[in-house]
């Protein structure tokens, strides 16, 4: 179809698709113009559309928000769609698809439905305890179901860090004394010059970060300042920052120059690989997990395999039905608190555990946006790009 402006001048040859409500992404009447994509073409089309009195540019995430408000998708699915758009690795894509597909929402809704049913049974016992229609005491059945949901949530929450690793990246920190070859290794793994490399101790004074794709997983690799005592204020700040990023590392590559005779520092509180550098120069080789040379490339493939192995161990056996955002984990923890309170009050007046079960179900409902999330919508949808 030839699209023309108000004066009749052609803008572009385009494909025009019309969708009638509710059979559209947003659930509303919608028209899509598929242009050839040049900036001048898009600008001319937008200028033409802006001539219609009520037409305006969409806000960030507005189409997805309308889809949510019209019941076409819930918040977990919307967040999954957002993650699909920015996914850079295969595992990020799979995790995002699990969220966007509705499978995770179905899991949460199933738990909420089970709690609502248990609450209804408690209230039925309370209201109709003298009636013959209510079978004996259903107390054991009720609380067995509640405990099953609570245990399922605990197991689900235990995978939250794995979900964060897949979505946000496995954090690998290169650490060691000055001139241990940290920056050289970063450049080799990044396959480009990111860090300045010199023979002067203390050259790196800030945190440098690169993103890698190892085996389909996102890996965030950090180069840090050499770990040593120093009177130089700027270098000391770099060392402080290095120690801080080490606190959040999933894996530490502790480097030491094998020609120096210095043993690598061990980090017993987290996964750590002891790496001997400058292997092409010869030296002490005991006490290292592996040896490498950034100059010749010897040992680099083994290091990548070792990182991949540590990562695989960390996420082993995990499905992609995982909570990945703090908003989700916060509500899951709140649901658990309410379930613990319900179980603690099971021998008290039935109104008390019933109310706790209601709060637990509401917490699960807030994850999918079924209840009480109006104050969160602006925050969630503002993270989308315009036009989504």
Token pair of 326, please? 């703090």
* Residue 171 to residue 210: CA distance in whole angstroms: 10
Residues of 367-381 as b/e, b for ≥16 C-beta within 10 angstroms? Answer: bbbbeebeeebeebb
Does 226 belong to an annotated binding site? yes
317: left (phi over 0), alpha (psi -120 to 50) or beta: left
Does 179 belong to an annotated binding site? yes
- Max Cα separation, the chain? 88
316 exposure class (CB count in 10 Å sphere: 0-12, 13-18, 19+): exposed
CB 120 within 8 A of CB 134: no
CB 367 within 8 A of CB 325: no
Does 181 belong to an annotated binding site? yes
Does 199 belong to an annotated binding site? yes
List the one residue out of 172, 159, 164, 166 whose CA is nearest residue 250. Answer: 172
Does 224 belong to an annotated binding site? yes
Q: How many CB atoms lie within 10 A of CB 301?
A: 10
Does 225 belong to an annotated binding site? yes
Does 182 belong to an annotated binding site? yes
Token pair of 173, please? 């920190």
CB 32 within 8 A of CB 16: yes
Does 203 belong to an annotated binding site? yes
* Residue 17 to residue 347: CA distance in whole angstroms: 61
CB 235 within 8 A of CB 225: yes
* Residue 177 to residue 201: CA distance in whole angstroms: 9
List the one residue out of 367, 361, 370 whose CA is nearest residue 146. Answer: 361
253 exposure class (CB count in 10 Å sphere: 0-12, 13-18, 19+): buried
Residues that constitute the known binding site for GTP:
179-184, 198-204, 223-226
List residues forming the annotated binding site for Mg(2+): 183, 204
Detail the residues annotated as belonging to a binding site. Answer: 179-184, 198-204, 223-226
Binding-site entries for K(+): 179, 198, 200, 203
């Amino acid at each position: 179809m030839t699209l023309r402006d108000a004066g009749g001048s052609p803008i572009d040859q385009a494909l025009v698709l019309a969708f009638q409500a509710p059979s559209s992404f947003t659930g509303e009447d919608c028209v899509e113009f598929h242009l050839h994509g040049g900036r001048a073409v898009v600008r001319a089309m937008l200028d033409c559309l802006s001539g219609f009195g009520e037409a305006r540019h969409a806000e960030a995430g507005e189409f997805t928000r309308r889809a949510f408000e019209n019941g076409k998708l819930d918040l977990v699915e919307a967040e999954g769609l957002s993650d699909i758009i920015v996914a850079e690795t295969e595992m990020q894509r799979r995790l995002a698809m699990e969220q966007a597909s509705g499978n995770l929402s179905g899991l949460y809704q199933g738990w909420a439905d089970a709690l609502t049913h248990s609450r209804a049974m408690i209230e039925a016992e309370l209201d109709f305890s003298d009636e013959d229609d209510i079978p004996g005491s259903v107390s054991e059945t009720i609380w067995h179901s509640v405990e099953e949901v609570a245990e399922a949530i605990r197991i689900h929450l235990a995978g939250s860090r794995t979900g964060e690793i897949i979505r946000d990246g496995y954090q690998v920190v290169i650490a060691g004394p000055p001139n241990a070859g940290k920056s050289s290794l970063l450049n080799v793994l990044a396959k480009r010059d990111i860090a300045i490399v010199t023979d002067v101790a203390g050259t790196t004074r800030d945190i440098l970060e690169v993103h890698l794709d190892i085996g389909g997983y996102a890996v965030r690799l950090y180069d840090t300042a050499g770990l040593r005592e120093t009177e130089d204020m700027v270098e000391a700040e770099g060392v402080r920052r290095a120690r801080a990023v080490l606190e959040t590392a999933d894996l530490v590559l502790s480097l030491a120059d094998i020609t120096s005779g210095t043993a690598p520092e061990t980090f017993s509180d987290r996964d750590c690989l002891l790496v001997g550098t400058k292997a092409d120069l010869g030296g002490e080789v005991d006490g290292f997990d592996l040896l490498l040379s950034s100059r010749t490339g010897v040992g680099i493939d083994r290091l990548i395999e070792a990182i991949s192995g540590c990562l695989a161990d960390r996420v082993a056996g995990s499905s992609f039905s995982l909570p990945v955002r703090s908003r989700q984990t916060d509500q899951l923890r709140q649901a658990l608190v309410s379930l613990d309170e319900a179980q603690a009050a099971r021998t008290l007046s039935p109104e008390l555990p019933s109310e706790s079960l209601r709060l637990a179900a509401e917490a699960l409902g807030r994850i999918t946006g079924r209840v009480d999330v109006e104050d969160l919508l602006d925050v969630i949808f503002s993270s989308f790009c315009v036009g989504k």
